[in-house]
Structure 1
Amino acid sequence: MRYVLHAPPGFGKSRLIARLAAGRRSLIFVRSHVEGLQMARYVAEHGGDAGVLFGRRHLCPFRAESWARCFELRDSGVCKAKSRRAEAPIFDVEELYKLGVCPYEALHVEGRRKGVVVLPLAYLSKVSNISAVADLFEEVEFVALDEAHNLLSTVEVGDEELYSRRYCIGGGGGLTCLVLPLVGEVSGRARFLVAASASIVRQFSDIFTYFLRAEYVEVQRLPGEENLDVDYMPLKIRYRTRLKKRYVDAVIDKVRQIFREYGRAVVFLPNKELASLYASKIADLPVSDQPLGDIDHVIVTYYGSPISEGVNLNVKAGVLVGFPIPDVRSRELWDKVRILKRLGYDGYKYGVLFTAVNHVVQAAGRVMRGLDRERKYILLIDDRFAEYRSYLPRYLSRAV
């Protein structure tokens, strides 16, 4: 059983992974420590014994990045943790610290002894990172890769890294390598594997199934789909048009209208600078770049921002402005395109379009949580949503 699982937001991918992992020797890789702690709780709910192995900076309440900094905080009295163990499993950094326990040390002391170990996806990006946890792969039965779309990325490595050069391209004194093939190699021993994502639609699946040696499974029905309204506005949002008054005014008018109707909304724009500009245009509204809970406000952010993936936003509507083709001036982007072409894949499709579609799906997913309880609304503003509709999940493409 080795699967690449595409399932929409709200399906419960994390809980499914936790249920499959409980009761067998498992490694679960997630994007952030917050998701890692949540995953460990889910595993415990299903009767499993979970440990969490993330770095000091994420598991220390004072964000100590090294043992020396940790010692300094304790010696100065800033950190008052006295114990390395908790009496019972607790997957909450603040709660552990309140008990006088160092969260990093407590979670790491127990982590390697557990049947299920939760780790960051970043461990899979380099051979040098993997070597720190290589022993955990020796007798593993099940490997889960949550938010697996992040694996179709590149990483810069030194010449000493044991990468196959066919997955890399040289330049700037180092190598830029594709991450996905390495992940396929290190997870190959596991009998069971699930690589889950809302972004790996069928049109992009073959590169994942090939390197992970897995079958593709697709869940099409969106839970609560009857409560989701999606509209499309074919405005030609481009680099040369998106600052023109006519285009800005058209978008701002829609945002104001949606705020009046829904109260809590999020707006995604192509980059941070545009987000700042558009936020200034609606400064008379309660606007923020961060969620403010359940009060009426408009979050103005950008595709790929820290709150654009893995964060549940308490909003009722979303406005996606521009089809987010990545920055074509990026050397990293074109390095990826060249590596993909060398491997026999369409570099533009997998290097450029997949990145854009992933940004769209993740942004829409911030709005779609809680569809089983209330109606939600998403507006897609850009004529390219129609051009690339065949690459979008059905719940978004049906309106285009």
Structure 2
Amino acid sequence: MRILLNAPPGYGKSRAIAKIAAQKRRALIFVRSHLEGLQMARYVEEYGGSAGLLFGRKTLCPFGAENLLQCLKLREVGVCRAKSRRLEKPAFDIDEIYKQGACPYEVLHVSGRHNNVIILPIAYISKISNIVAISDLFEEVDFVALDEVHNLLTTVSVQDDELYSKQYCVADETPICLVLPLIGELVKKTKSLLAASASVLRHFSQIFTYFLNARFVEIEKIPGIENLEIDLIPAKIRYNTRTKSRYVELVTREVKRVYQEYGQVIVFFPNKELAMYYLSKMSDLPVSDQPLGDINHVIVTYYGSPISEGINLNVKAGVFVGFPIPNIKSRELWLKIKILYRLGFNGYKYGILFTAVNHIVQAVGRVLRDLNRERKYILFIDDRYIKYKHLLPRYLSQTLRP
């Protein structure tokens, strides 16, 4: 079984991965963040398996120690009072583990090397220097899962002695290499593979199925789709128009309208600078660049921000301003496109259009949580959502009208 799974937000991809992994003798699961890793470990335990996390010390230490020396100093001065590497009862929360008198980093690493399921950050397999530290884990492994696999269609800077294949790289001041082919080499002997994402739609799947040697499986139905309402305002949101007064007034007026009806709203902009600019224009609303819990407020953020993917937010509506085409002035982007064309893949399609659609799907996913239990609302503000509607998932495109 080697599958590339596309399933919409709310389908339960993480639980599906955990259920399979729990039944295996030895399984590796790669996730985006330690919070997702802790959630995955909890699911594995629910399905009868046992899981540990091999994440860095900084992410698992309650006090942010980055190395063993800092850890020891925190213990010497009494800031850290952890005394044990074992738990009295299972816990998948850093604070809860620490409350039991144990060091979360040490507990999760000890269990990680002994349990049947090991959960790791997907960043570990993006560079040879990282892979070396975990290469032994791939010996006699039964199952590998790559959650949020769209994150692997990216490039990474490497040292000259790390070049795993020059055909996947371009020369620059520092060589730039495409990550996905490296992952394909790493997992090619794995008996079972499940790579999952809400963003890898059928028309973007070929490059993933090719390098991962996997069969594409698509699940189109989204639970609770009858509770979703989608509107579109086909304004020409462009680099030279998006800060003009008529567009600022349009966007702020619509955000205010959506807030008054739904209370908990998230608004996405093409980049951080534009998000902060618009945030300053919404001073008459309760706005923040971070989620503030259950109170009614407007979260103002940008496509690709830390809260745009993999985070469960308590919002009832989303306003999506602009179509997030990546910065075409980026040198790294054009190097990536060059590699893609060299490998026989459409660089514009995978380097630019896939990036934009990925940002949209992930951002929309913040709104679609709990859709089967409550009414949700999405507003797109940009005429390009019609132009590129054929690239969007059906649960979005089928209701878009000019």
Q: TM-score range by the shorter chain?
A: over 0.9
Q: Partners of 1:35 and 1:110 in 2: how far apart?
A: 17
Q: Partners of 1:255 and 1:90 in 2: how far apart?
A: 40
Residue ranges of structure 2 left out of the alignment (5+ in a row): none
Partner of 1:52: 53
Partner of 1:238: 238
Q: Does the 8 Å contact 1:232/1:399 carry over to 2?
A: no
Question: Counterpart amino acid of 1:72?
Answer: K
Partner of 2:32: 31
Query: How many Å apart are 1:90 and its aligned residue?
Result: 2.0
Over 4 Å off, 4+ runs: none
Q: Does the 8 Å contact 2:52/2:110 carry over to 1?
A: no
Q: Does the 8 Å contact 2:233/2:379 carry over to 1?
A: yes
Write out aligned runs for 1:37-76 (5 A): 37-76=38-77
Query: How many Å apart are 1:367 and its aligned residue?
Result: 0.4
Partner of 1:101: 102
Q: Does the 8 Å contact 2:38/2:92 carry over to 1?
A: yes
1:265 partner SS = strand
Question: Counterpart amino acid of 1:302?
Answer: Y
Query: How many Å apart are 1:88 and its aligned residue?
Result: 3.5
- Alpha-carbon displacement from aligned partner over 1:16-39 (angstroms, at most 9, x marks no partner): 000011121110000000000100
Query: How many Å apart are 1:273 and its aligned residue?
Result: 1.3
Query: How many Å apart are 1:233 and its aligned residue?
Result: 1.1
Q: Partners of 1:89 and 1:180 in 2: how far apart?
A: 35
2:17 partner SS = helix
- Alpha-carbon displacement from aligned partner over 1:308-359 (angstroms, at most 9, x marks no partner): 1111111110000000001111111111100001001110110011110000
Query: How many Å apart are 1:105 and its aligned residue?
Result: 0.8
Partner of 1:390: 390
The alignment status of 1:148 with 2:149, answered yes or no, reads yes
Query: How many Å apart are 1:399 and its aligned residue?
Result: 2.5
Query: How many Å apart are 1:302 and its aligned residue?
Result: 0.6
- Alpha-carbon displacement from aligned partner over 1:279-316 (angstroms, at most 9, x marks no partner): 11111111111111221111111111111111111111
What TM-score comes out, normalization by structure 1 length? 0.98
What TM-score comes out, normalization by structure 2 length? 0.98
Write out aligned runs for 1:106-121 (5 A): 106-121=107-122
Q: Partners of 2:258 and 2:96 in 1: how far apart?
A: 39
- Alpha-carbon displacement from aligned partner over 1:348-382 (angstroms, at most 9, x marks no partner): 11001111000000110000000011000001111
Partner of 2:159: 158
Write out aligned runs for 1:77-226 (5 A): 77-172=78-173, 174-226=174-226
Query: How many Å apart are 1:163 and its aligned residue?
Result: 1.1
Question: Counterpart amino acid of 2:249?
Answer: D
Partner of 2:9: 9
Q: Partners of 2:84 and 2:316 in 1: how far apart?
A: 44
Query: How many Å apart are 1:65 and its aligned residue?
Result: 0.7
Residue ranges of structure 1 left out of the alignment (5+ in a row): none
Identity %: 65
Q: Does the 8 Å contact 2:88/2:100 carry over to 1?
A: no
- Alpha-carbon displacement from aligned partner over 1:142-179 (angstroms, at most 9, x marks no partner): 1000000000000000011141000001111x211100
Q: Partners of 1:234 and 1:202 in 2: how far apart?
A: 26
Q: Partners of 1:128 and 1:45 in 2: how far apart?
A: 34
